[in-house]
Amino acid sequence: MEFKKHFSKKRFSLRQVIGMLTAVIVGATALAYASVTIPYTFTSGTMASSSEVNANFQALADAINNRTDASLANMAGTWSYTSFGSSLSGDNLCTVTHFGTLTLNADGTFSEVEPDTTNSCVSGASGTSGVYTNTGGTYTGTWTVLADGSGTLNAGGLTIPFQASRDLNIIVASRSTTSGNGKTSITAVRQ
């Protein structure tokens, strides 16, 4: 209770409020964008001009809004992925989970290594459930990407569209099965 009384009597100037907000935003953004350079650092007891505060906010806005242009060369590398999906075939509902490694090559080819995974299905007619093993393997294909991070993975007659994050460290994809009764979501993170 004593703290509340003391705090409610304390008055903050506009500069102090701006300074506190800047510190919070700078701290949070620094975690997400470690390469952001903030032009001005403020210390307790010193005055900050509005142009300095605005320059710090502009640096943050530029880092948040600017995207690294995607290309085959700067997205090439090894990615860990997980995919979750479900499908309905007749009255059988199946859930599928896959994980593995995706290697994107700068020449527009890729390879995927997927270990064996266990999946489950439930029969709506009988109410029984079963578990089956999805045999993994190594798969190859081609990939494309535009400067905005949108692209496709192409293998075995499938085309899977994806979107890369602004910093090009995360890929998110989603696809429907050919029958339209299933959906798979894929997330890949650069290793």
| CATH code of the domain covering residue 148 | 2.40.128.10
Helix segments in 45-182, DSSP class H: 50-65, 72-75
pLDDT digit string (tens) for the chain, length 191 residues? 444 444 444 555 555 545 555 555 444 444 444 457 888 888 888 888 889 888 888 888 877 777 789 999 999 999 999 888 887 777 777 888 888 999 999 999 999 998 888 778 887 777 777 887 878 889 999 999 999 999 999 998 889 999 998 889 999 998 776 655 677 888 899 99
32 and 50 belong to one structural domain: yes
121 and 153 belong to one structural domain: yes
91 and 173 belong to one structural domain: yes
CA distance 31 to 188: 21
Q: Which domain holds residue 108?
A: 72-190
106 and 184 belong to one structural domain: yes
Question: Considering the entire predicted model, what is its pTM?
Answer: 0.62
127 and 88 belong to one structural domain: yes
State whether residue 30 is helix, strand or coil.
helix
* Residue of 106, 88, 104 whose CA lies nearest to 96: 88
State whether the Cα torsion 164-175-111-94 is positive or negative.
positive
60 and 136 belong to one structural domain: no
84 and 170 belong to one structural domain: yes
Query: How many structural domains comprise the chain?
Result: 2
120 and 180 belong to one structural domain: yes
52 and 122 belong to one structural domain: no
